[in-house]
Amino acid sequence: MTTVRDLNAFVVALLMGLPLALPAMADGEFLQLDYAPGASSVSASVVRGPFGLAFGWSDFESGSAVSANATYGVHVPMLGDGALIRFGPSLRLDEEDQFDLGVKAVFESYSPTSWGSVFVLTDFNTIQNEYLLLGEVSHAASGLNASLAIQGSDEDFQENTLVVGYDIPQSRGRLRLGYRFEAQQVLLGFSVNTF
């Protein structure tokens, strides 16, 4: 478990590095709903300038949990025009009223291509040492996209998910169909992305 001293040292180190970074300035909203038997989730985020807020709810076989985080984002020009790092405090509350505080750090990179785009995201949260690695390719002309997500935690959770999506024409919506390999479940989903 992360101690208050660890969190304080981490926050101080981040604050000392802020003057060397350029704030991220992409505004947008994101909403995603995924359904699978015994394992559904909703996630939402809002970004205004360098500031972001995110909320999540998940329902799984052994219970459910809600989470939230607030982040500050900075561009990392040496890693590409669309690369940025976000960091900030996070919290989690499960159905047994277990309340945890932590720190979230995210790296993401969006790269447009001649045929569409490539998006990469790595996400780490000190709460239960949760991690997410995500790679996505999108084909602009067809509206088709595919993503692979690898996620887990130190609470014996591990999942690898392959998703194929279709961008609904003349909208910001996307239909999602995927497969969770560890749970051996098909998932159906929908997302809206205004970034």
Q: What is the pLDDT of residues 145-159, one digit of tens each?
A: 999 999 999 888 899
CA atoms 55, 180, 135, 15: torsion sign: positive
Say whether pLDDT at 19 is over 80.
no
| C-alpha to C-alpha distance for 195 and 122, rounded to whole angstroms | 18
Percentage with pLDDT > 90 across the chain: 73
Average pLDDT over residues 59-80: 89
pLDDT at 8 over 80: no
Instruction: Name every residue whose Cβ is closer than 8 Å to that of residue 106 and which is 6 or more positions away in sequence.
Output: 71, 85, 86, 87, 121, 122, 123, 124
pLDDT at residue 98, rounded to an integer: 86
> Has this prediction a pTM greater than 0.95?
no
**pLDDT confidence tier of residue 81, bands split at 50, 70 and 90:** confident
Lowest mean pLDDT among 15-24, 92-101, 158-167: 15-24
pLDDT for position 25: 59
Reported confidence tier of residue 5, pLDDT bands at 50, 70, 90: low
Structure confidence at residue 41 (pLDDT): 94
3-state SS, residue 4: helix
pLDDT band at 170 (very low <50, low <70, confident <90, very high): very high
Cα–Cα separations (whole angstroms), residue 97 to 70, 100, 102: 21, 10, 16
Residue 130 belongs to a domain with what CATH number?
2.40.160.40
Distances (CA, A) of 113 to 45, 76, 170: 25, 19, 20
Question: What domain range is 179 assigned to?
Answer: 4-193
Amino acid at site 116: G
- Give the pLDDT of residue 18: 46
Per-residue pLDDT, averaged over 86-115, amounts to 94
Instruction: Give the chain's length.
Output: 195
Region 60-84: what's the mean pLDDT? 90
Residue 43 and residue 66 in contact, taking contact as beta carbons nearer than 8 Å = no
Count up the domains in the chain and report the number.
Answer: 1
Mean pLDDT of 66-87: 93
